[in-house]
Amino acid sequence: MATTLTLASTPDAAPAPSPEYRAWRTREQRRRYWILGTQALLLALFLALWEVLARTHLVNPLLTSYPSALWPAFQDLLRNGDLLGHTWATLKATLIGFTLSMAIGVAVAAGLWWSGFANKVLDPFLVVANAMPKIAFVPIFYIWLGSDYSVYGMAVAIAVFVTIMVIYEGFQGIDPNKIKLARTFGASRAQVLRLVVLPGSVPTLIAALKMNIGLALVGVIVGEFQSANAGLGFLILNGSQVFKLNIVMTAIVVLGVLSGLMYLGIARIEAALSRRYA
């Protein structure tokens, strides 16, 4: 009897996963390993092909360098302290431009959603501003903001208009029945925006994050090409001017690694938001 009472008072244990579920998890894990392995294989094949083509002079190694020559250049730049300083300058400018672009993009998109009149007035201007070649603004930003801050201006200029349009389209795609239901229960327009539109636009916001980080980095590199005295873009330009392709290719590889790390950061944000707003 005592045993029966004890068992009855014990909380129900979680049910064991079914064989079908375990098999599905095994397949998914195997598939993930295959994807990672294939990605690593493609990268290794690319590096091997690059090395072989340059070593056999099927391509001019003076113009392309080759992977085994980049390691000494990387060590030299790292030892001199140039690489870390230039990488940090590019990363800092990218993160600042990315943050500003997202903040401005969300705020302006919310304003356009709030006021249909403002959307009708500003829509053609946003389209034209997005279509304009932003590199034309480099001299203007240099005059207005100086060599240090013009890079931030370029990052924002390249990223912000696309961000506004993408996020606004996401806001417009919210189910109108959800908005109508919230208004029926007495929600104000601000509450609808905060409780319905923003949470419902999480996939769009994630897409904007992924797109914006790349655009901000492009803007930073363009700005560094034109007016900066530090950063990976400056290192690439300076190396090409003195025909040191090892430095140029090393900076490009570091730029690729930096892009990958920022992508992983965005992926972590995506996973956190997806769990919260699933």
What is the C-alpha separation between 248 and 238, in angstroms, rounded?
Answer: 8
In angstroms, rounded to a whole number, what is the distance separating the alpha carbons of residues 136 and 134? 5
pLDDT tens, N- to C-terminus, the chain (278 residues): 444 444 444 455 556 777 777 788 888 888 989 998 998 999 899 989 988 988 888 888 877 778 888 888 888 888 886 788 888 989 999 999 999 999 999 999 999 999 888 888 888 888 888 888 888 888 888 888 877 788 888 889 888 988 999 999 888 888 888 888 888 888 888 888 888 888 888 888 888 888 888 889 988 898 888 777 788 888 888 888 877 888 888 888 889 888 888 888 888 888 887 777 65
Place of tokens 């004890």: 6
Q: How far apart are CA 231 and CA 95, in angstroms?
A: 13
- Match 């140039």 to its residue by tokens: 82
Statement: the pTM of the whole predicted model exceeds 0.85: no
Q: What phi and psi, each to the nearest 5 degrees, are found at residue 229?
A: -115, 15
**Number of helical H runs and strand E runs in the chain:** 13, 0
Q: CA-CA distance, 75 to 42, in Å (whole number)? A: 25
Location of structure tokens 């290192």: 235
The tokens for 206 are 């994630």
What CATH number should be reported for the domain whose range is 82-276? 1.10.3720.10
The ranges assigned to domains in the chain are 20-64, 82-276
Catalogue the long-range contacts made by 64-67 (C-beta closer than 8 Å, 24 or more residues apart). Answer: 64/245, 64/249, 65/245, 65/246, 65/248, 65/249
